[in-house]
Chains A and B, each alone.
Chain A
Amino acid sequence: MLKINSLRKKFNDKFILTNVSFEIKPGEILALVGPNGAGKTTTINCITGIVKKDEGEIFIMEQPLQKKDKIKIAVVPEERNIFPKLSGEDYRKIWSNVYPKWDENIFEKLINKYNLPLSEKFDKYSIGMKTLFLVILAVSSGAEILLLDEPTQHLDPTVRLEIMNLIREYADLGKSILVSSHEIFELEEYADSIAIIKNGKIIFYNGIDSAKEQHRVVEDSSVTKESEIIGLIGKKLLVKTEQNIGRFPNLNEIVVGYLSGKIRENIFEN
């Protein structure tokens, strides 16, 4: 449903995105993972149109993304203070008017469940309440595609779990969801596929289950010629192999392996 091909963007002659490509099918949650400044938010901003891409293609439902398609996309942006002086009720009014598939029932259910004060101004909400409220607006929008930047950040552990379930249930309606997050352990619980971004480039992209099957965590001595060394995980190695060696990695180890690379350094060594 959402397809990104060779997205490139530079600011002041510095490339922020050099090669970003991925696809999110209906019913799929893609986790976009990477260190700070890797290009996660810029990727989301290019899809929303907040940042104009320099090169590359963005397709939505097999068609190039156009202005009119923005009603099919709902966003939880990195900047939570969208309209700080407006009340929750004002937000409801705006969102319900601009999204044609707005679902008032879902919105009311969730607002009542979390007891969010609609009459209060948004800047009076705590940071966790803001995140929760924006996620509620996104899943009530009825949009085909959700772009969620750190959707569980600053939430209580119990609310986090409920929000993860909510996002999963929304995807199961046939919607496509892009989640940018640092919470790798959480992502394993509800995401279907993963794209690891580093220095503006997607360095690994696959389904989470396939990713686990294709990799092993091994000791240095276990590495064979048929294995491709991906990176270090503490004192062990993440390798890509079809051989049955070592043990299967978890998602966190795959991410760490790809991001750390092959250079081992000990900062306490002279």
Chain B
Amino acid sequence: MYIKRMEIVWEKLLKEKLGVFFIFTLLLLIPNSIRLLSIFFLANLILPSDVKQKRDISFYYLPFSKGEIFLYTLALLLLLVTSAHFLTFGFISNSLYYFLNSLLYITNFAIIIFSISMLAVSNGLDNFGITIIFLIIDSILSHFGSITLDKNFNPYKLISITVQGNKFLTLLFAFVILYFAFKAYVGGDTYVEN
């Protein structure tokens, strides 16, 4: 039942934002910084922009909950990002370690940008502005020190979205932000209470 409902939400999102999805999904196929830029835009446009303009309300005239919509859109974002990685990996490297490492990197990046963006709009702030500020602050904080345990040790580098000194700690950090984003959106003052 939930799969069918997720399909409906995906189909609606893909049809309404065909141009956006087409362009950024194509750009996702180009690795490294272009891929990250595409993830940045997709994560901001897939749901947060709708929330900002209160277009997500339409879902709630139907038997959908906010929690469902949050999770279904995140799932679509991750599907697009990981599919692009799978499709292009063979052209870049044959190393399984590199494959998994880079898969984890872009997954963390997508979850964190989506979460920060959702946190922003759920609190009435601009999603693009806040995610850009977040990336600037992250770059500054992760610029100094190292991830090795010496006198220059900078623990933030381990979970920084740009550096990701430890992918699993970054994933943990991503889930923490995701939890707060979910709570902020689902438990917000307006719309559906669940």
A positions within 8 Å CB-CB of B: 48-52, 67, 70-71, 73, 75, 77, 79, 82-83, 85-86, 90, 93-95, 97-99
Contacts and interface: CB of A to CB of B under 8 A. Distances in A.
11 contacts: A70-B64, A70-B65, A77-B61, A79-B57, A82-B61, A85-B15, A85-B16, A93-B11, A94-B12, A98-B63, A99-B63
Which interface residue of B60, B63, B189, B194 has the most chain A CB atoms within 10 A?
A: B63
Contact of B60 (A49, A85, A93, A97): A49
Given A85-B15, A85-B16, A86-B16, A51 B191 contact: yes
A50 B5 contact: no
Given A50-B61, A50-B192, A83-B12, 12 more contacts: A48-B61, A49-B192, A50-B60, A52-B191, A52-B192, A67-B194, A70-B62, A70-B63, A86-B12, A86-B16, A93-B11, A98-B8
A51 B190 contact: yes
Contacts of B5: 97-98
Nearest to B16: A85
B149 to A, nearest CB: 48
B105 to A, nearest CB: 33
A98 B64 CA distance: 9
Interface string B99-117: 0000000000000000000
Nearest to B62: A98
B61 A75 contact: yes
A51 B191 CA distance: 5
A93 B12 CA distance: 10
A98 B15 CA distance: 18
B58 interface: yes
A85 B13 CA distance: 10
A77 B59 CA distance: 12
B151 interface: no
A80 to B, nearest CB: 11
Contacts of B11: 90, 93
Given A50-B60, A70-B63, A97 B4 contact: yes
A82 B194 CA distance: 21
A93 B63 contact: no
B150 interface: no
B19 to A, nearest CB: 10
B63 A90 contact: no
10 closest A-B pairs by beta carbon, nearest first, are A70-B63, A49-B192, A67-B194, A85-B16, A82-B58, A71-B63, A75-B61, A52-B193, A50-B60, A77-B61
Nearest to A121: B15
Nearest to A90: B15
Contacts of A70: 62-65
Contacts of A85: 15-16
Among B4, B62, B189, B191: residue with most chain A CB under 10 A? B62
A85 B18 CA distance: 10
Interface in B45-66: 57-58, 60-65
Contacts of B57: 50, 79
B69 to A, nearest CB: 13
A95 to B, nearest CB: 8
A97 B1 CA distance: 9
B8 A48 contact: no
A70 B191 CA distance: 13
A23 to B, nearest CB: 22
Contacts of B8: 93-94, 97-98
